[in-house]
Amino acid sequence: MTPVLLDTGVIVALLDRSERYHLACKQSLDTLSAPLVTCEAVIAESCYLLRHLPGAADAVLKNVEAGAFQIPFRLSGAAPQLRRIFRRYSDREVDLADACLVYLAGEMGTGDILTLDRDFEVYRWGHHKRFRQLIPLQ
């Protein structure tokens, strides 16, 4: 089964019910049976952004521990490819989490992504393939 990439904003919105896209993220996740793939940078950002919400960081890490959020690569092995992604998008404010997700798309052969980040309308994986954002944004 082809995995779905998972970005920070979705994790935050799922755990913080006050987030604008909480319901849209929950509904999108409920329709998926594919594995959720992410990176350590997304997990770190999520824990940081949720630091004000008691138990949220623990919930993120429980999902990693249980395999609900899969992390299939080590940063040290992907550093050369990530540097190329940073250079490619040097005109944008690409962060490490986004670069890792672009890299993962190529590695996993999928552009299906759960994200609230409109930059994924610009980013391409495999040099020219568009991401398919699975959460409708208004």
pLDDT, one tens digit for every residue, the chain (138 residues): 899 999 999 999 999 999 999 999 999 999 999 999 999 999 999 999 999 999 999 999 999 999 999 999 889 899 999 999 999 999 998 999 999 999 999 999 999 999 999 999 999 999 899 999 999 887
CATH number of 86's domain:
3.40.50.1010
Residues sharing a CB contact under 8 Å with residue 84, sequence separation 6 or more, in sequence order: none
Cα gap 100→42, rounded to integer Å: 9
Q: Which domain holds residue 93?
A: 4-133
Which pLDDT value is given to residue 138?
Answer: 72
Cα gap 31→33, rounded to integer Å: 7
Whole-model pTM? 0.95
Under DSSP, is residue 91 helix (H, G, I), strand (E, B) or coil? coil
Question: Does residue 138 lie in a domain region?
Answer: no
The number of folded domains in the chain is: 1
